[in-house]
Amino acid sequence: MKGKFIVIEGLEGAGKTTSSYIVASLLRKYGINNIICTREPGGTPLAEKLRTIITNDITQKEHITHYTELLILYAARIQLVENVIKPALMRGTWVIGDRHTLSSQAYQGGGRGINHDFILHLQQEIMGNFIPDLTLYLDVTPEISLQRTKKRGQLDRIEKESLYFFTCVRNYYLTLVQTSNNIKTVDASQSQEKVTHNIKKIIQQWLQHVHL
């Protein structure tokens, strides 16, 4: 039996890592113990190196264009999907992913202003019909996002973007979540207790329709 692919999406500081642990813990209560967690960009040796290019300020002498950023992200993504995620799913392992294609649409489409149709065409050419079985979008305001990321310490290249950038990203996310019934929104500005409760409720309802 094939595994399932669950993705956690949202702005920086939305609580994606914590939510991944919550989902994994709940799945284990349902007897699903073969679980791996992945992150994008990253998850393979090559993809982690590509992540460094995207997140680190190593390009002060050379500007990364928006299209270069998008293509690097998809290069890292396909390495992860083909070398880790798909083989895991075929083994019956469930995969919980920190970000996937929705991030590229929101960040590079909404934030960077790259044409949405171009991103979808690129996605189709590279990913084909491979999509998550379920996506949880953790919604926070850009103000909360920036406040939380600053508390974590030194900011990476993306986290240093402006409030306007993250406002555009969030607005794009809010539009995208309406395009699929497999994308569920969680108000991540609430207390951790309420966020956990809402995530558990979504997963439990979803599992009722999944053949385990």
Binding residues: 10-17
Name which of 206, 210, 189, 196 is nearest 25 in CA terms: 196
Binding positions for ATP are 10-17
Q: Could you give the CA distance from residue 211 to residue 56 in angstroms, rounded to a whole number?
A: 42
Q: Could you give the CA distance from residue 47 to residue 40 in angstroms, rounded to a whole number?
A: 8
Per-residue burial over 130-152, b if 16 or more Cβ lie within 10 Å, else e, is bebbbbbbbbbebeebbebbeee
Q: Could you give the CA distance from residue 187 to residue 77 in angstroms, rounded to a whole number?
A: 27
C-alpha distances in angstroms, 179 versus 14, 47, 90, 184, 209?
21, 28, 27, 11, 20
